[in-house]
Amino acid sequence: MSQTHKLSKKSVLRRLLVCLALVIAIGLSWAGYCWYQIEQTLQKAVPVHADVGIVLGAAVWGEKPSPSLQERLNQALLLYQEGYVPYLLVSGGLGEGKKVTEAAVMRDYLIEHGVPADKILLESQSTSTYENLLYSQQVMEAHHMRDALVISHDYHLARAVVMADSLGISVSPVGVRSKVLFGPYHRSREVLALTHWEFSRFLSHTLHAVILA
């Protein structure tokens, strides 16, 4: 092998390593930004008075809320009992292999804990956070409601608020710090989910601009 060829291979390898280091640096910077966004949203998550409290769905166990979903529902109960919201809107569709929707399970739990049935609104079509908010917006509009508290776990709030903003929903976040979930895992997972949302939105806007150009 000639000396020139060896130098060429080293040059290519060096460039690849530089590119890899750059990609890693960008990835870490973005992850740090997402983590910061999650923390900043949580810092601002102070209850205020609103027309309705939207409880974002989570896993159900059989026909009962999972422990993590109970945490969200208990926070919603507290907000209702303290007079921050006159209505609660439970949002969640039919999970894979389930016989009842998340919304129905949440409604039953709230009724069992003293919330009148006529103070609970249901959104039972959604299968994702975005759909939670999209279909909840339709319920709000049907009931002439203007603003909402969005109730979920603390790590989930940043993405929920960004999605609500994209839909034009006036929301204030209220977070639950879980005692049953492993926080670092779910926050790391949420960084990936927030990245996917932001990239998808950027791609959609870019394609829309290209089509209209």
pLDDT tens sequence across 113-154: 999 999 999 999 999 999 999 999 999 999 999 999 999 999
- The CA–CA distances, whole Å, from 36 to 30, 150, 163, 177 equal 10, 20, 17, 17
Q: Using CA atoms, how far apart are residues 160 and 166, in angstroms rounded to an integer?
A: 10
**Site of tokens 């909402």:** 148
The three state secondary structure string of 103-158 is HHHHHHHHHHCCCCHHHEEEECCCCCHHHHHHHHHHHHHHCCCCEEEEEEEHHHHH
> Is pLDDT of 5 > 80?
no
- Dihedral sign of CA atoms 63, 64, 66, 68 in order: positive
Q: Are strands 120-123 and 88-91 parallel, antiparallel or unpaired?
A: parallel
Q: What is the pLDDT of residue 1?
A: 52
Phi, psi of 131 (to 5 degrees): -70, -35
Q: Which of 96-105, 189-198, 204-213 has the highest mean pLDDT?
A: 96-105
The chain-wide mean pLDDT, for the chain, equals 87
34-46 pLDDT tens trace: 777 777 777 787 8
> Is pLDDT of 2 > 60?
no
Map residue 53 onto helix, strand or coil: strand
- Output the pTM of the full model: 0.81
Nearest to 168 by CA among 195, 137, 199, 198: 137
Over residues 1-19, the mean pLDDT reads 68
Asked if 36 contacts 190 with a C-beta cutoff of 8 angstroms, the reply is no
Asked if 110 contacts 76 with a C-beta cutoff of 8 angstroms, the reply is yes
Q: What is the pLDDT of residue 112?
A: 97
